[in-house]
Amino acid sequence: MSAAQFATLKHLSELLASGKASAVELAQDSLARIDASDLNAFIDVRPEVSLAQAKAADAARAAGQGGALTGLPIAHKDIFVTKDFRSTAGSKMLADYVSPFDATVVERLAAAGMVTVGKTNCDEFAMGSSNENSAFGAVKNPWDVAAIAGGSSGGSAAAVAAGLVSAATGTDTGGSIRQPAALCGITGIKPTYGRVSRYGMIAYASSLDQGGPMARTAEDCALLLNAMAGFDMRDSTSLERPVEDFSRDLNQPLQGLRIGLPKEYFGAGLSSDVAACVQAAIKQFETLGATVVEITLPRTELSIPAYYVVAPAEASSNLSRFDGVRYGHRASEYKDLQDMYKKTRAEGFGAEVKRRIMVGAYVLSHGYYDAYYLQAQKIRRLIADDFQTAFADCDVIMGPVAPTVAWNIGDKADDPVANYLADIYTLSASLAGLPGMSIPVGFGNGQRPVGLQIIGNYFSEARLLNVAHQYQSATDWHTKTPGA
């Protein structure tokens, strides 16, 4: 086992700066671990591309042009398009697709000098909570290979947790960075909607999708977010905000921090093992100077029906482009154009994607738009208002990320509603467009990881990362590794 296997980005950057390691050596090290892994965390790996990028990074550092991230390996969720790797979105529909351009997130991290070591497995078109919906098979959790890794960014979470790579990108539509981060025992942050460009992100639900970093620590996530965030004129949902240093407040003490605990997050449905870890973490925050206040988010229960109307509606529109005409899979035999459409989409899409397209088409159809889609959007506004009421009494909101630890692969495969209910604590922040993150805070049943969710008001990423970093400076849950 390499000494760099579970190293943070900060530590690897120090190794490169001191000359104790080269970018090529770090890339080779990561590629070797990926090759030896049986977690099914990666869909596409191209060593010749990665090593060429690493050589360029070494040359940049030698010329004195390197930054903090130059030469550090990273993996990208296979929902971001890349010109040097396949971009499949975990679907048979795009199994052999290679994009002519890079997504903005990929482009910006490459400009910062990072080395792409591969594309990570994900639920098809980011639709799922377990990473069992991928056309390339389920991702296994490195803490227990019988368990799911979470979804949809399960490949990224498993890759970081197993030490295959120290950082990865993910996307969060309804919890898909926070939930797999929690179930795999790593750190992940979903920024405020619009903070990170969606250009080149294969769309699922355009008003919800948001990219973000996944790493071992909050400090590493801050470094990555510095490179990822920022206005992009190619993305109509990108926000024009001043450039920020998200690591600026990491070392600020937490004295006086007001933590809101929503009573709806600690009721029936939350398993006792997860609750115990979350409550212990909150006690730790109190010892660090924070105070706890009880708040209410009364429409939390409505987040599931609202989300599963809004997101499928947008998905049915976004996925209409996959028809076999321009790119992606095309049926080999068909009678006419209509038949080609039908057979191509029937063959190319998996069961969960078809289910959501059908739901979306239904709620947008004549006679049902007002009854379903419009009502869901009204509920979405009320959920956002609930958060603003709560933030009048607290600075951050804390609670569980998921009701249970990771379940076994196959346990909920035949019950999509059970999968949907696992998102109860993450959906509302997504519907409101708020930033949220997950940090590891212990282990539940079967020694499977538990994550704590921290939600902030709009544009409070630096505060969230500060809160998480102070906790990680006082505890060692983030340093635990599978098999140790």
Under 8 Å CB-to-CB from 77, ≥6 apart: which residues?
Answer: 119, 120, 122, 153, 155, 156, 168, 169, 170, 171
Burial class (CB within 10 angstroms; exposed 0-12, middle 13-18, buried 19+) of 18: exposed
Q: Yes or no: say if 66 and 16 are a contact pair by the CB < 8 Å rule.
A: yes
Looking at residue 303, its amino acid is S
Angle CA(237)–CA(240)–CA(242) in degrees, nearest 5? 145
Using alpha carbons, select from 194, 275, 309, 195 the residue that is nearest to residue 442: 275
* Positions marked active-site: 77, 152, 176
Q: Yes or no: say if 71 and 300 are a contact pair by the CB < 8 Å rule.
A: no
Which H or E element spans position 211? strand 210-215
Angle CA(68)–CA(22)–CA(118) in degrees, nearest 5? 80
Residue 475 CA to residue 283 CA, distance in Å, equals 12
Residue 125 CA to residue 93 CA, distance in Å, equals 10
Q: In terms of DSSP bridges, do strands 291-295 and 144-148 run parallel, antiparallel, or are they unpaired?
A: unpaired
DSSP string, 354-376: HHHHHHHHHHTSTTTIIIIIIHH
Under 8 Å CB-to-CB from 3, ≥6 apart: which residues?
Answer: none
Under 8 Å CB-to-CB from 381, ≥6 apart: which residues?
Answer: none
Which H or E element spans position 141? strand 140-141
Q: Yes or no: say if 323 and 341 are a contact pair by the CB < 8 Å rule.
A: yes
In order of 334, 341, 353, 354, the CA distances from 338 in angstroms are: 9, 5, 20, 18
Structure tokens at 14: 């120090």
The CB-based long-range contact list for 277-281 (8 Å cut-off, 24+ gap) reads 277/441, 277/442, 277/443, 277/444, 277/450, 277/452, 278/398, 278/399, 278/400, 278/441, 278/450, 278/452, 280/441, 280/442, 281/398, 281/441, 281/442, 281/452, 281/471
Using alpha carbons, select from 322, 248, 319, 259 the residue that is nearest to residue 286: 259
- Phi-psi label, residue 65: left if phi above 0, alpha if psi -120 to 50, beta otherwise: alpha
DSSP state of 470: H
